[in-house]
Chains A and B, each alone.
Chain A
Amino acid sequence: MTRILPKNKLDDCIAAWQKAGYSVLAPVQRHDMSSFDEVQKASDMALDLILTERTIKDHFFPQTEPLIKYKISKHDIDSETMTPPDKKRIFFGVRPCDASGLAIDDPLFGWDYKDDYWFRRRNNSVIVTIACAEADDFCMCTSVKLSPDSTKGADVMLRPLASGNGWQIEAVSERGTALLDTVSPLLQESSDQAAPVPQVAEKFDVEKVMEWLADPANFESQFWKDISMRCIGCGSCTFLCPTCHCFDIQDEGDTYQGIRRKNWDSCSFALFTMHTSGHNPRNAQSTRWRQRIMHKFNYYQGKFGVNSCSGCGRCTRQCPVDMGITETLQAITNLPR
């Protein structure tokens, strides 16, 4: 016997959570795009999507975030630090890869200097993961040692029932337990079986890849030039990535007032590392693509003991020229040793 959340109780669940002060965010399909947004009822949710086009990262590390509001007068400057709202929220129906992405980025935003813009939102959020029932050609969680039913980054884990009538529900963190307490009357005990987890084939050998990347002799390999020839240098792979976290800080306003903002930035852009002098340490697209792969599968591992990739496959799925991490790592796996 396991506890289940019947599908027809989802509306009541949402109402109960809202009453407890939470905003509920779930996958939605709006204006020709799927993303996480606030919902009021179960029918607002697009839970059948394999994966939303946008990630939940958007709600922890927004694409543009005001940091400081300033007003400039003749000899004085007023500034006011802006902080994220202290608002409790539930992310319902997060895929395991997206939830893992949050857990992967936690150490980065926390090492030495704590980024409260991230952590305030993290601490106010409960992640309700739903294990995948389906995978597509681009999914690659198993290749990065995760799985379609991984609980990494989750507070509550749901497994869809084979009958399609609901989910097995299980709290996997204290925050998750507290959340389930608010809806315990709506949960039932049942012996319904969970639907089988989809088979996601391993597309590359990540150990082999990491070994190759760790060899300094390969840093200037012709491989990087060949593999990135067709990269057009846009930022779609980085902006849609659940773990990419690079940003820019920009002042925006007029002569007298404005806002200093933290905006997404991408290592794909030439301007990302360009010095004012014109010198650019990463002056070719191949060096920028190398940086992205090295950062994810070598540097990040060295700093935080984990690869900065959760295997969602969005980079390949959305790439205008059909590139992506999968192809590069497959090619590295298959390089003659």
Chain B
Amino acid sequence: MSESFEPKIVAFVCTYCTYAGADLAGTSRLKYAPNVRIVRLPCTGRISPMFILKALQKGADSVLVSGCHPGDCHFAAGNYHARRRWTVFRALLAFTGIPEERIRFSWVSAAEGAKFADLINEITEDTKKLGPFTQYQELQKVIETQSSY
């Protein structure tokens, strides 16, 4: 891919752990790729697969979903439920041909500012290698044009 490609990464994070972790990364002055847009949610249990689909549709090149480590959920079990959902959703995306590499999942606690920064850098690098996600955008273009006959 060309050097100039700057991927768009959408991160859906839970407010109690990963968002706090991202905050820590910031207050610790850790430098990480500016390609990420963070969407804060109450809990990973709130993250509907629809969010991921919509992000990909609206131009995200990669999606990160991140929350508290197992056992640390503010709502006791939200991340356990989320974990099951992701397992199934990943399989679904893979089976319908959306590259798994573009959807990443992680546990980042409020103390792991450095992990968050590393993660974002890593995803940004990986996505640069993958190139832009165009499958959905091509379909989007079709929508905007009238049928050819």
Direct contact between A and B judged by beta carbons closer than 8 A: yes
Instruction: Find A87's partner among B58, B143, B149 (CB 8 Å cutoff).
Output: B149
B54 to chain A: closest residue by CB = A254
B: interface residue count bin? under 10
Chain B residues, CB < 8 A from A65: 146-147
Mask of B112-149 contacts with A, CB within 8 angstroms, 1/0: 00000000000000000000000000000001111111
Closest to A37 in B: B149
Is A21 part of the contact surface with B, judged by Cβ < 8 Å? no
Pair A66/B149 contact, Cβ less than 8 Å = no
A336 at the interface (CB under 8 A from B): no
With contacts defined as CB atoms under 8 Å apart, how many contacts are there between chain A and chain B in the complex? 29
Q: Contact mask B16-51 → A, CB, 8 Å, 1/0? A: 000000000000000000000000000000000000
The minimal Cβ–Cβ distance linking A58 to chain B, given in whole angstroms, is 9
A84 interface residue, CB < 8 Å from B?
Answer: yes
Contact residues of A between 74 and 89, Cβ < 8 Å to B: 82-85, 87, 89
Is A66 a contact of B144 with CB atoms below 8 Å? yes
- List A contacts of B58 (CB < 8 A): 254
Q: How far is the CA of A66 from the CA of B148 in the complex (A)?
A: 12
Which bracket fits the contact residues of A? 10 to 19
Partner of B146, one of A59, A85, A89, A252: A85
Chain B residues within an 8 Å CB radius of A25 = 149
Q: Are A84 and B146 in contact (CB under 8 A)?
A: yes
Determine the chain A residues whose CB is within 8 A of the CB of B148 once the complex forms: 85, 87
Q: Do A85 and B149 touch across chains, with their CB atoms under 8 A apart? A: yes
A99 to chain B, nearest CB (A): 17
Contact A121 B149 (CB under 8 A): yes
Chain B residue with Cβ nearest A23: B149
**B149, A259: Cβ atoms under 8 Å?**
no
Decide yes or no whether A62 CB sits under 8 A from chain B.
Answer: yes
Q: Which of B143, B144, B145, B147 contacts A62 (CB 8 A)?
A: B147
Residues of A within 8 A of B (CB): 23, 25, 38, 59, 62, 65-66, 69, 82-85, 87, 89, 121, 252, 254, 259
Question: What are 11 A-B pairs with beta-carbon distances under 8 A?
Answer: A23-B149, A25-B149, A62-B147, A65-B147, A66-B143, A66-B144, A66-B146, A69-B144, A83-B146, A89-B149, A259-B143
Additional pairs, 17, CB under 8 Å, beyond known A66-B144, A87-B149, A252-B143: A25-B149, A62-B147, A65-B146, A66-B145, A66-B146, A82-B146, A83-B146, A84-B146, A84-B147, A85-B146, A85-B147, A85-B148, A85-B149, A87-B148, A89-B149, A121-B149, A254-B58
Query: Which A-B residue pairs are the 6 nearest by beta carbons?
Result: A62-B147, A89-B149, A59-B149, A82-B146, A84-B146, A85-B146
